[in-house]
Amino acid sequence: MLNKTGVPTAEDVLTVTPSEERLKKGPVAIIECFQEIPCNPCTEACKQGAIQPMEDINNLPQLDYDQCNGCGVCLSRCPGLAIFIVDASYSETEAIVRIPFEYVPVPRVGESVVGLNRAGEELGTFVVNKVQSGGQKNKTYTIWLVVPKALAMDVRSIRLGGLRHAN
């Protein structure tokens, strides 16, 4: 399915999903990298040692969820925009999903944006909690989005400008 549509299957996503117990402990990286290509910036960026060293640069990254503190450095270094940070400990009913963003205009804190799933389908309107710049050399912003906990593993992109379709 991924090779035909660019969208991972539910089974693909389950292979990179931490346990509910780990999700409740605080921020953790979710590496949705499903294709073996020569790439390892995430491994090099992880100072926690949570992303395991690769024997071959074509290997998929492997994350030790217990070592990951959700710092997000790997997210900003991933050229494929395939890493997200989920913090299910944000509140009783909501989670923070940190999303890489490389478009302009960049949303502002407090702004409502449309959350999209992996297939680009609208999941609702959500509030931007924080906007983090990647710095001078890295133009990837990190958008911190407040979403219902039930959608934390589904919201993977945003669009500005409001809903286009009734949900």
* pLDDT tens sequence across 26-83: 999 999 999 899 999 999 999 999 999 999 999 999 999 999 999 999 999 999 999 9
d(CA 77, CA 133): 12
**Contacting residues for 127 by C-beta, under 8 A, at least 6 apart:** 110, 111, 112, 113, 145, 146
Specify the pLDDT at position 107: 96
**Residue found under tokens 């009913």:** 93
d(CA 46, CA 41): 9
d(CA 167, CA 164): 9
Specify the pLDDT at position 71: 95
First vs last C-alpha separation in the chain: 25
Specify the pLDDT at position 62: 95
CA distances from 22 to 34, 86, 104, 156 (A): 21, 10, 34, 19
**Residue found under tokens 């710049």:** 133
Phi and psi, residue 44, nearest 5°: -65, -30
CA distances from 158 to 2, 57, 105, 122 (A): 21, 30, 12, 9
Domain ranges of the chain: 2-159
Residues 99, 156: contact at Cβ < 8 Å? yes
The model's confidence at residue 2, banded by pLDDT at 50, 70 and 90, is low
Bigger pLDDT: 55 or 164? 55
Q: How many CB atoms lie within 10 A of CB 126?
A: 21
What are the tens digits of pLDDT across the range 78-127? 999 999 999 999 999 999 999 999 999 999 999 999 999 999 999 999 99
d(CA 28, CA 98): 10
**Residue found under tokens 């913090």:** 87
Specify the pLDDT at position 1: 56
